[in-house]
Amino acid sequence: RNTSTKTSEEYAMENAQLKSAAEENSMSKSSILQFKNDLQKQKSLMAKYKDRLNKIKYNARSKRQGGQQNESKSNDSSALSDNV
């Protein structure tokens, strides 16, 4: 219906619909931001656990080799690989 011929009831209905849509949009944005925040926390935890696991692997290798850590072993990049 043409804007110039809308009744106050129609404006009120349209206003209510727009308010509802805006509220739903706001809730969706909030949910997305919370999800993003949760993902960042999980990413941080995974990085910490990966670091711990790599340290455990490195220590286990060192113990298997009798605790000897010469220059070539201390630079062993496989202990810090991304293939965890």
Average confidence score pLDDT of the chain = 85
User: Both tokens of residue 68?
Assistant: 């000897």
- Cβ-count burial of 45 within 10 angstroms (0-12 exposed, 13-18 middle, 19+ buried)? exposed
| Domain locations in the chain as residue ranges | 8-65
* DSSP symbol at 2: -
Q: Each residue of 30-64: pLDDT tens digit?
A: 999 999 999 999 999 999 999 999 999 999 999 98
Which pTM value belongs to this model?
0.53
